[in-house]
Amino acid sequence: MKIRTLIVDDERLARARVRRMLKGEANIEIVGECRNGAEAVRFIRREKPDLVFLDVQMPEMSGLEVLQTVGARAVPALVFVTAFDQYAIQAFDFYALDYLLKPFARERFAQTVERVKEQFEPQKSPPPNNLEERLVSLIKDLNEKKYLERIVVKTAGRVFFLKTDELDWIEAAGNYLELHAGRSTYLIRETMHGIESKLDPGKFLRIHRSVIVRIDRIKEMHPMFSGDYTVMLRDGTELSMSRTFRDRWEKLLEQSS
């Protein structure tokens, strides 16, 4: 029996690495690769693969959001590929055959492949009866809006969690975001739209197409002739609020008055 396998990761090199490590595995047939969550949802629904190597942290639509969209009864067997965000840890306990923590070694990948093969052996006893029920529960839980409490940051060869309460402001930098926290600045691969949708709107406000600020870090604001505002933070940082996003600020003021 061939295990029809899909690789989902927004990074081309990461997809190539998984493909390369699967090369030579007689029981595994790679049937496709997807660069983002939307592609993954379409492929899973259309081709119904047996197994998916699924990156958890992707811009726009995360791996866990792929599960939500596909639905519990259509989700294939999973191997999560991640840098350990909080939702992924929860998902491992519920459903995944295994997980791979980036950057993973060949030996660790080989262990995952063996675990996958064992699961697909014909003589293998069926999974627990409540497996699908547990995944339904997981997806229901994920559908209840939860805002980020911490962000996975990779820097200087290490991975750590940055609490969102420590953030002062966020700025777009090409395909990345700069996270400003006190005197430190961290770079993560994410989009402004993606991070904005995950942050509590009661605590964070987008003031420009390329800037999000933590509301309680704002010290004062000064109107400009153009209709824009200069936003001054408590640490002295000056940012610009464009007219496009001024309505959000005024709405926030109305709610708090």
Mean pLDDT by groups of 10 residues along the chain of 257 residues:
93 94 92 95 94 86 83 81 61 66 87 88 54 58 68 78 93 93 92 88 92 94 84 94 82 67
* pTM score, whole prediction: 0.56
Same domain as 63, residue 186: no
Same domain as 60, residue 10: yes
CB 166 within 8 Å of CB 235: no
Same domain as 74, residue 59: yes
Our count of domains for the chain comes to: 2
Q: What pLDDT score was predicted for residue 257?
A: 55
Same domain as 121, residue 17: yes
Q: What pLDDT score was predicted for residue 227?
A: 75
Task: Provide the strand spans (E) within the chain.
Answer: 3-8, 28-34, 51-55, 77-82, 98-101, 150-155, 158-163, 169-173, 176-181, 184-188, 204-208, 211-214, 218-223, 229-233, 238-241
- Cα separation, 3 vs 144, whole angstroms: 33
Residues 6+ apart with CB under 8 A from 218: 231, 232, 233, 234
Sheet of strand 184-188, all strands in order from the earlier edge strand to the far edge: 184-188, 176-181, 169-173, 211-214, 204-208
